[in-house]
Structure 1
Amino acid sequence: MKTPQTLDELMLRCRALAGLTLGQLAAELGHQVPVHLKQDKGWAGQLLEQALGASAGSKAEPDFPELGVELKTLPIDQHGKPLESTYVCVAPLTGINQQLWQDSWVCQKLSLVLWLPLLAERSIPVAERVIGTGFLWQPDSKEQQLLQQDWEELMELIALGGIDQIRGAHGQVLQLRPKAANSKALTAAIGEAGQPIQALPRGFYLKTSFTQQLLRKAFG
């Protein structure tokens, strides 16, 4: 699928997906549907990226670099509630003293997001999960302020060697959680006394209470 050249073209493609099941879309694109997503957690997101023509792959840039748009799949239940927090990006754990919010990867990733809801309760077979109506979102000043505040507090804790004190409850809208395939995948971090330590990689995630608000704002 060619990369969309304009936001209008991207949204046109997005609207064409609304109401399709993952099985129907996979058949259109010539893919097998996995029986479950335990081993293929990112499968649905990758399928939707391909259908919309996202070109970034795993590069450190927005999914649609030409448009500056990040694509986020949002699994929801039948009542429209998000089923899980939304992964944003990996958190840097060293060399972070001089970093500013405006230059952070979180800020850049969330500057313009295409949210694509997906009816994905565990009881629904993967092939029968339904793609919802996508919407574009840019943080307003209040959302931007909340995100920046959480990011700065979390980054300060990391820089001061408090990584092991950070829990999912920290932050109003943004949280920091372990992000690793297994407990052996360690990375460099800062200890309580400022010494180098090994820790599990961490990722920034948007809390479900925040994405629930975004859905309400978009659909009333």
Structure 2
Amino acid sequence: MIRNYDDTSIDSIVQYSSSFIDKSFSDVLSEKELDIISNEINQYKNNRKGHFGDLVEKYLFGIENNSDSAPDFSKVGVELKTTPLKKHPKKVYVAKERLVFSMINYMNIINEEWESSSFLKKNKLLLLMFYLYEKDIDLSTYEFKLIHLLDLLSETSKEDIAQIQQDWKTIVNKIKAGEAHLLSEGDTAYLGAATKASTSKSRRPQPNSDKPAKPRAFSLKQSYLNSLIQKYLGKEDRETFSLFDDKSLPKTIEENIHSRFAPYIGCTNTDIEKELEIFYEKRPKSHRRLLVNRILGTNSNKIEELEKADITLRVIALEPSGVLKESISFPKFDYLTIVDELWEESAFYEQLTTKRFLFVVFRKQKDGNAILEKIKFWNFPMKDIHEAQLVWEETVKRIKAHKADALPGIKDSPSVHVRPHARDSKDTIPTGYGTYEVKKSFWLNAKYIQKQLED
């Protein structure tokens, strides 16, 4: 095909890229090129990560695949990124996965500063080409649905830039501390450190530690990328509250939220309600969550920055003795699906390593009130991931042995267990061996969460 663009002009590159909207390789390439692509696709059977992006670079733009530290369009400083969409009944399209960048060089990055970082040099200007992913169809028929040139430091808000910068520093500081092997996507809000390796056993050396670490790459989290997509589509939720409506508050999520809660730590819910002019004839069951929302400045559970960072706000109510009685659940799993998963590709592993929580902790008092004791941002620590793996593996083993009614309980592990997560005993799903069993999920043990709150 004729590649009709000027690689010294950003406008020309964007205009050329936009000509592919609602088109696929099949619509624009010659028969000879399609035959070559078809042979490649048959060779890899859709199992090669990044294969589609490599094909786009080579056949649509004439860029040979490389690991160059410079942007793909080096003359204008523009990096080309292809990323999949999936259909959504209400939002038209949503992000299928995170947007992954180049590998993190553990040895070099500890000597970098944000403003002159290799990450910014390569990714400050991003040409985003979103295509519609559909299962079981040929890569050559994927259609492009959205093209956007993203200037990471000028198009995004000052608050988003500040958060991305803080995320970068969090990752780098952990590497400097010799803890690259303990990195998790749950450590950060928008910019993550995603695992990126051909096999789960791949490891590379890190500075300041003799422990090898998984290869990782910077990535924009799926939840943050989805917020950008909705913005480009004009589908932003106007009812969602932003923590940064008040421009006088700190620019990062954690600092902003800590500043909002600070005046009320140590106060009873009654005192806080008086201060915020909240009056009840009879308190609803959800009164603590409603109070938390008001402290944050809203009456809604929809908070933009928490949604973009995939942070789950959980109100924790300790007993007067300080004991936590309630465990924390993850989404229900499917007996038919979980037995075909590999641990590091499983839904539970993904949840543990990407999910971040904001715990708002009240301690009940004997007079019926509760003191707002603390808030804590938390994600599952990688040092405990092996214990969770053992529970997951035992769960899969028992389901395969037709024992879905006897999965690991709270006494079988200090951190994780399995128990029902259903409306009632009739809320069942098939086990895969001819019976139906009540819906279940993995739970973080109450005692384990209590210990995390105390640390």
TM-score class, shorter = 0.7 to 0.9
Preserved contact between residue 23 and residue 144 of structure 2 (Cα < 8 Å) = yes
Amino acid at match of 2:132: L
Give the 3 Å change call, closer, same or farther, for CA 133–183 of structure 1 in structure 2: closer
Residue 102 of structure 1 aligns with which residue? Answer: 115
Amino acid at match of 2:11: D
Preserved contact between residue 54 and residue 65 of structure 2 (Cα < 8 Å) = no
Residue 338 of structure 2 aligns with which residue? Answer: none
Which whole-Å CA distance do the structure 1 matches of 2:135 and 2:87 have between them?
Answer: 11
Residue 89 of structure 1 aligns with which residue? Answer: 102
Preserved contact between residue 192 and residue 221 of structure 2 (Cα < 8 Å) = yes
Residue 45 of structure 1 aligns with which residue? Answer: 53
- 2:166 counterpart of 1:149: yes
Preserved contact between residue 84 and residue 96 of structure 2 (Cα < 8 Å) = yes
Preserved contact between residue 22 and residue 131 of structure 1 (Cα < 8 Å) = no
State which structure, 1 or 2, has the greater radius of gyration over its C-alpha atoms: 2
Shift of 1:126: 2.3
Residue 7 of structure 1 aligns with which residue? Answer: 10
Which whole-Å CA distance do the structure 1 matches of 2:134 and 2:176 have between them?
Answer: 38
Give the 3 Å change call, closer, same or farther, for CA 68–28 of structure 1 in structure 2: farther
TM-score, normalised to structure 2's length?
Answer: 0.44
Give the 3 Å change call, closer, same or farther, for CA 58–3 of structure 1 in structure 2: farther
Residue 74 of structure 1 aligns with which residue? Answer: 83
- 2:89 counterpart of 1:113: no
Residue 37 of structure 2 aligns with which residue? Answer: 32
- 2:213 counterpart of 1:199: yes
| Larger relative contact order, structure 1 or 2 (CA cutoff 8 Å, min sep 6) | 1
TM-score, normalised to structure 1's length?
Answer: 0.87
Which whole-Å CA distance do the structure 1 matches of 2:102 and 2:76 have between them?
Answer: 19
Shift of 1:21: 1.8
Residue 175 of structure 1 aligns with which residue? Answer: 192
Greater alpha carbon shift after TM alignment, 154-163 vs 16-25 = 16-25
Shift of 1:3: 5.5
Superposed CA deviations along residues 152-181 of structure 1, whole A, max 9, x for unmatched, are 011111111222322222211111122221
Give the 3 Å change call, closer, same or farther, for CA 97–158 of structure 1 in structure 2: same
- 2:177 counterpart of 1:160: yes
Amino acid at match of 1:146: Q
Preserved contact between residue 177 and residue 202 of structure 1 (Cα < 8 Å) = yes
SS at match of 1:196: coil
Give the 3 Å change call, closer, same or farther, for CA 101–176 of structure 1 in structure 2: same
Greater alpha carbon shift after TM alignment, 25-34 vs 169-178 = 25-34
Preserved contact between residue 102 and residue 218 of structure 2 (Cα < 8 Å) = yes
Which whole-Å CA distance do the structure 2 matches of 1:3 and 1:29 have between them?
Answer: 25
Which whole-Å CA distance do the structure 2 matches of 1:57 and 1:164 have between them?
Answer: 27
Gaps of 5+ in 2: 235-455
Residue 20 of structure 1 aligns with which residue? Answer: 23
SS at match of 1:197: coil
Amino acid at match of 2:14: M
Shift of 1:55: 6.3
Greater alpha carbon shift after TM alignment, 23-32 vs 112-121 = 23-32
Shift of 1:27: 3.9
Q: State the number of aligned residues.
A: 216
Task: Please give the root-mean-square deviation of Cα atoms over the aligned residues, in Å.
Answer: 2.3
Give the 3 Å change call, closer, same or farther, for CA 87–148 of structure 1 in structure 2: same
Q: 2:223 aligns with which of 202, 209, 212?
A: 209
Preserved contact between residue 173 and residue 210 of structure 1 (Cα < 8 Å) = yes
Residue 71 of structure 2 aligns with which residue? Answer: 62
Give the 3 Å change call, closer, same or farther, for CA 56–138 of structure 1 in structure 2: farther
Residue 125 of structure 1 aligns with which residue? Answer: 138
Preserved contact between residue 180 and residue 201 of structure 1 (Cα < 8 Å) = yes
Shift of 1:187: 1.6
Preserved contact between residue 13 and residue 52 of structure 1 (Cα < 8 Å) = no
Shift of 1:104: 1.6
Gaps of 5+ in 1: none
SS at match of 1:67: coil
Greater alpha carbon shift after TM alignment, 90-99 vs 168-177 = 90-99
Preserved contact between residue 82 and residue 208 of structure 1 (Cα < 8 Å) = yes
Preserved contact between residue 57 and residue 65 of structure 2 (Cα < 8 Å) = no
Preserved contact between residue 194 and residue 219 of structure 2 (Cα < 8 Å) = yes
Preserved contact between residue 130 and residue 144 of structure 2 (Cα < 8 Å) = yes
Give the 3 Å change call, closer, same or farther, for CA 99–184 of structure 1 in structure 2: same
Give the 3 Å change call, closer, same or farther, for CA 215–28 of structure 1 in structure 2: farther
SS at match of 1:175: strand
Amino acid at match of 2:227: Q
